[in-house]
Homo-oligomer: A and B are copies of this chain.
Amino acid sequence: MKVTGDQALVKKINTSIALEAIQLHAPISRAQVASMTGLNKATVSNLVNELLEQQLVLEIGPGQSSGGRKPLMLLFNRHAGYTIGIELGIGSFTAILCDLSGQIVLEEANIPIRSNESEHVIDSLCDTITALRSQAPSAPYGTIGIGIGAPGMVDEEGNVLFAPNLGWRNVALKRAIEERFPGAIVTVDNEARAGAIGEWEYGAGEKAQHLVYISAGAGIGTGTIIGGELFKGAYGYSGEMGHMTIEANGRKCSCGNRGCWELYASEKAIAEAGKNVSYHSLEEIMQAAEQDEPNALHTLHQIGEYLGVGIANIINTFNPELVIIGNKLTQAERWIRKPLLRTVQQRTLQSHQHGLQIHFSSLQQRSTVLGAANQVIQLFVGRTKVSV
C-alpha cells in the first residue's frame, strides 16, 4: 500500500517496535525496551502505557533490581484475544483456536469434507469456526479473526485462483468468510506460505531471518521468509516451486510442464514408481519399508535424493539459513533424511552451505494452522516496518 509519512505513522512504527521487543524478550522493563530498541525512555513509557490501556501488555510487578529502583516487568498479554487457524486439506480440514502467542487452546483435527463443492466446504468451515468461537475463553478482544491456509494459488485479495486438488477456480474464499463473520480479520493464503510462517514463529525456524519451508505432501509447495518477512513475490502468489523443472526431458506434469520437481519428490513419485509394484500411498510404502522391502526402500531413497535436488536449487536461488521440510513426507524422515542431505551437500556451492541448516518440521502437521493464525495476529497488532 502507498503510504506517506505523518505522525500517526511514526507512532505506529514505534509501537510496533516496542511491542515486538516485549513479545520477544518478556518479561522486560520499559528501560530495557528503550535501550534495546533505541527509542527514548519517555517514548517507551508513553507507548507502553497506551499498550497497557489497550490490554495488549500486562505489568506483572517489580523485577530484580540492579542497584536502583526495581523495574516494572512487562508481558505481552497473549490472552487479549484469540484467533482461529485453519488448514484446508484434501478431503478434510483442521482448525485450531489459539491465543496471541500461538498457544493452542482447542483443536479440531481432520474434519472430513464430504464434497469439494466450494459452497459446501465454506459452510463446513463456517460451522467449525462458529463452534470454536463459542468455546473461546472470554477476552478483551474476543476472537479477533480467522486465518486460512489453502492448497493452491491464492492472490492478495484472498481469492483461491486455482486449487486442482479441490477442483476450485476463482473462489473468493476470504470475502465469503468475511461476510459470515463481520468484523473479524480474515486472511487466506497458500498452505505452504502459511506453513513457513508457522515454522518461523513457533517451530524449527526460531530466529532465522531467512528460511524456506517445503511442504511435501500430495504435491510440493514452498514458502519463503527473507529478512524476517514472508516473501510475497509478484502479485503475491509466487511459490509454485513444486513445478520447477529438474528433468528437462522428464515426465509430463498436469501443469503442462515436463520434469516438475513434485513428480519426483512428493507422493506423486510413489504412485509413479509403484506402477509395477503395489504401492499407492505413502502409508503403504512406509509399511513395506518397515519390512525392508528393497523396492520400497529404493523409492524412498530416490524421493529423498530428488527432494535434495530441488532444495539445492532453492538454496542457490535464495541462499537461506534454514530449510524446513514439512507436511506428510516428514513421516518418512527415517528413510528420506540421509539421501536428501547427501544430495544437497553434493549439489550446492560451498559458500552457501556455510551456516546452512536443514530441519524437518517440529510442529507435526501444525505448521499451517499456526501460520494461518499468526497472519491474523500480525494484522491485529499492526506490524509496520521501514526500509532505508
Contacts and interface: CB of A to CB of B under 8 A. Distances in A.
Interface of A: 1-7, 9-14, 17, 37-39, 153, 161-162, 209-210, 226-227, 229, 231-235, 237-241, 243-249, 255-258, 264, 306, 309, 312-313, 316-321, 346-352, 384-388
A258 B316 CA distance: 13
25 contacts: A2-B38, A3-B386, A4-B39, A5-B10, A5-B17, A7-B10, A210-B234, A227-B234, A229-B387, A234-B319, A238-B318, A238-B319, A240-B317, A240-B319, A240-B349, A243-B349, A244-B313, A244-B317, A245-B312, A247-B247, A247-B248, A256-B347, A384-B386, A384-B387, A385-B387
Contacts of A1: 388
A350 B235 contact: no
A152 to B, nearest CB: 10
Contacts of A384: 386-388
Given A256-B347, A317-B317, 14 more contacts: A2-B38, A3-B388, A153-B351, A162-B351, A226-B232, A240-B349, A240-B352, A245-B309, A245-B347, A246-B247, A247-B249, A255-B349, A385-B386, A386-B387
A7 B227 CA distance: 25
Contacts of A246: 245-248
Given A234-B321, A384-B387, A386-B386, A244 B5 contact: no
Contacts of A352: 240
B316 A243 contact: yes
Which one of A1, A37, A255 has the greatest number of beta carbons of chain B within 10 Å? A255
A256 B350 contact: yes
Instruction: List 9 tightest A-B contacts by C-beta distance, closest first.
Output: A210-B234, A5-B10, A5-B13, A257-B347, A238-B319, A240-B316, A244-B313, A234-B319, A3-B386
A235 B257 contact: no
Nearest to A239: B317
A385 B313 CA distance: 31
Contacts of A17: 4-5
Contact of A319 (B237, B255, B309): B237
A319 B13 CA distance: 30
A13 B256 CA distance: 45
Contacts of A255: 349
A144 to B, nearest CB: 18
A70 to B, nearest CB: 27
